[in-house]
Amino acid sequence: MLIEFLEQNRRDILQRIESRATPEWVDPTSTRTERLNELVEELIAALRNREWSARSRAPLGSRSAAVQQVDRELIRGVVIEAVRHSSTVSVEEMVLLSDWAYATERRQLRESYRRLSELLDDIDDGVGIIATEGRIEYVNKALALQLQSVTGVRRDEIVGKTLSELGLPSEHSLSREPDELMALGRHSAADERLFLGRWKKTRFKAIQTPGAGVTGMSLSIRDIHDPRLAQIRLSLLSRLSALVGRVDSDDLADALATVPVPDLADWCIVNIVETGHIVRSAVSRGDPAKAALREAIVRAFPDWVKHPLWEEMRLTSGFQLLTDVGDELRRRLALNEEQYRLMTQEGVRSIMVQPVVSRGQTAALITLMFTSESGRRYSRDHPPLVEEMALHAGHLIENARLLRDLRTNEARFRVSIAGARTVVFEHDTTLRYIWYYNPITSAPSFVGRTDEQMLGAEEGAILTRLKRRALRGESVREEVTVTVVGERRQFRLAVEPMRDHAGNIFGIIGSGTDITEDKRTEQRLQDSLTFRDRMMGVLSHDLKNPLNAITITVGNMLKEGHPAEGDGRKVQIIQGAAKRMQEMIETLLDVTRVEAGGRLPIRRRPTDLGARARAVVDEMSAASPDRTIELQMEGNLQGQWDPGRIDQALSNLIANGLQYGDPRRPVRVSLDGTGEVVELRVRNEGPAVPPDLAPVLFEPFTRGTSDTAPHGLGLGLYITKQIVLAHGGDIHVESIDPTGTQFSLILPRAT
């Protein structure tokens, strides 16, 4: 028996072992011989009890434990060598000898496995080992919980099952055939996908066994949701930034539709909104092979003036998140059967709608869709990304519209400048042209040159002197004459200094408006005014004096004798015609005075407005005995007025009432002096003033359409208004059919 052999040959065996033992480790409490002797005693006890105990004074993992393991292997080797030719040692004893020799190593392996398992259970990544046939050999706590959450299989039941037996969802990264998984492991591949609303990254690594090749595969599954969202955000911002200043308003919908695909959508529809209606739409699909389908969708929305979710968006401040879109919802969203067919064909399963706001108004709508092709759905993590995208899209739309408006305004500016015949320019501090726009002629470019170089020394020096004043900080307004394409022309020059943020002048900007034709027109007008003044002189002197002579002569004839009845009537007709001619001449002279001086001249003096009104009413009543003129007065009617002009204004208004009022009804004149000003009203009943005549009623040479009105000059109301304005007052008219027309004059007392 091996026990007896060891006891009988212990000394010899210990010597042989000690000669081969490792000398590096020395136990301070015992000699090397004692240590080896203890191990031999331990071996004998294990053989006697038919079992071994893995006690050790050295901690696992320490250097002493490693030395002890070497000593055990030495003892085993020496004993096997010593009993090699002994027939008394059984196989069972030899097995126990080997078990005893490697007990520490097995214990270390078990302890290392335990510690490694605890370490892997403490990490967030899911870690596992899969055999070549797809059987699960190891999973850490994180992976076990992941698999349990989607399959319902407990952790202690997962190890030993195959992946197919677990019944993983098709969206899971491990839902593959074993051969495919091993191929991924051989290439150390990685897989990123959205699973249960979160992005996961799975790494595959083949396990190589010497002499056996690939015997399995290790894998790790890491949650990369937050980094992935950050990556998507940066990608969106990068694409949006690339559009700044490069896309005009007409192409912006197409450009924006490509931004979220494929990171944030399988399909994206962008609708540009103006005045509450969709004016432009664009559809983007990441797969080029779907171009025909994209065009079909565009054709299916020709009359889409409002979004299908318009009312819902209005009630929910705009944003819409439809996580799960079924057939019923697809039918409600589709505007027609073609749209429903397209949505069903693509398998739309999740939708987000985000309004884009600019200047407080909805400027666009972004509709994002996930389809069955990617299998993704929107979750609460996606709205912040879309909101940020919409914020930047709003800036892009605003910038594009501003650029469009700028180009439109520039075009209008150029047209208006051309119509105004204005040259616009900028100079640097050396008075060289740095910008020059001339819509008048096709003269050579002035840019980079001076006025002396372009216009000659004499004329250039005149402009240079003016522009140097602007360089000193002045605002220059002058008229100059220069030669343009061989013709002398006049320009109105306006030049201003240009300053930087610190107030330093770095150049000048100016314009020159061609006023040659204006000057010519002004000269012609001056000539016309001179001619008019001469004609007014003729009216006021050459015609008025003979007319006065006729009037005086006719008056004397009527006073001195009693002409025959027929001759007397003729004399009265001559007298009336002469009087009317005098009134017309005086009226024309008044118009000339207003046009020349801007206001009718008056001479104020203390006046009783009531007395003047009574005299005018009596005179007008005598002249029209078949008509009734009523007068009503109240309050203080004293003030400083021109009595002649007041009589003229009142008689004009009464005459107007008699001409255009109902002849069966009276003309009513009222004066109210109860306030600080005196208000004079003249009212007649009858048809209202025609609407087309009301805005120009007080303009010169404006007449009504009454058949009974005499053919006058149409200056009565115009002169009346000028008289009132000359007194610092105001006049207005109220006319309502059939109640009649009332003129109201406000006359300050002006003491």
Residue of 278, 288, 289 whose CA lies nearest to 367:
278
Flag whether pLDDT at 508 surpasses 50: yes
Distance in angstroms (rounded) separating the CA atoms of residues 331 and 45? 85
When pLDDT is cut at 50, 70 and 90, the band that residue 504 belongs to is very high
Contacts of 706 (CB under 8 A, 6+ apart): 659, 660
Give residues with Cβ within 8 angstroms of 285, minimum separation 6: 261, 266, 267, 291, 293, 294
Crossing angle, helix 63-82 and helix 10-20, to 10 degrees? Answer: 130
pLDDT confidence tier of residue 597, bands split at 50, 70 and 90: low
More confident residue, 63 or 430: 430
Top pLDDT among 244 and 553 is at 244
Q: What is the mean pLDDT of residues 447-457?
A: 90
Q: Which of 94, 44, 39 is nearest to 71 (CA)?
A: 39
Q: What is the pLDDT of residue 62?
A: 46
pLDDT tens digits, one per residue of 371-422: 887 878 888 888 899 999 999 998 888 888 888 888 887 777 777 766 668 8
Q: How far apart are CA 508 and CA 750, in angstroms?
A: 51
Structure token pair of residue 171? 């969206």
User: Would the pLDDT of 346 be above 50?
Assistant: yes
- If one compares 317 and 599, the residue with the highest pLDDT of the two is 599
Which structure tokens are listed for 619? 């005179």
Tell the burial category of 175 from Cβ atoms under 10 Å away from its Cβ (0-12, 13-18, 19+).
middle
Average pLDDT, integer, range 14-34: 62
CA–CA separation, 491 and 738 (whole Å): 57
Beta carbons of 681 and 742 less than 8 angstroms apart: yes
Least confident of 86-100, 372-386, 422-436, 477-491: 86-100
Tokens 């208000």 sit on residue: 679
pLDDT value of residue 595 = 64
Distance CA 194, CA 377 (A): 9
Q: How many residues does the chain have?
A: 751
Compute CA 672 distance to the chain's CA centroid, rounded to the nearest angstrom: 60
Residue 54 has what pLDDT? 47
pLDDT of residue 575: 64
CB atoms within 10 A of CB 281: 20
Confidence grade of residue 296 (pLDDT, cut at 50, 70, 90): low
C-alpha torsion sign, points 524, 525, 530, 534? positive
Phi-psi region of 700 (alpha: psi -120 to 50; beta: other; left: phi over 0): beta
What local confidence, expressed as pLDDT, does residue 29 receive? 45
Residue 286 has pLDDT above 70, yes or no: no
- First-to-last alpha carbon distance for the chain, in angstroms, is 154
Strand partners, 351: 322, 369
Point out which residues pair with 205 in neighbouring strands.
218
| Residue 616 near residue 654, CB atoms below 8 Å | yes
Q: Categorise residue 366: left if φ over 0, alpha if ψ from -120 to 50, beta otherwise.
A: beta
Q: What does the alpha-carbon distance between residue 749 and residue 674 come to, in Å, rounded to a whole number?
A: 12
Torsion sign (Cα): 582, 583, 587, 588:
negative
pLDDT grade for 483, boundaries at 50, 70 and 90:
confident
Measured CA to CA, the distance from residue 751 to residue 625 in angstroms comes to: 37
Q: Which residues, in sequence order, are CB contacts of 228 under 8 Å at separation 6+?
A: 192, 199
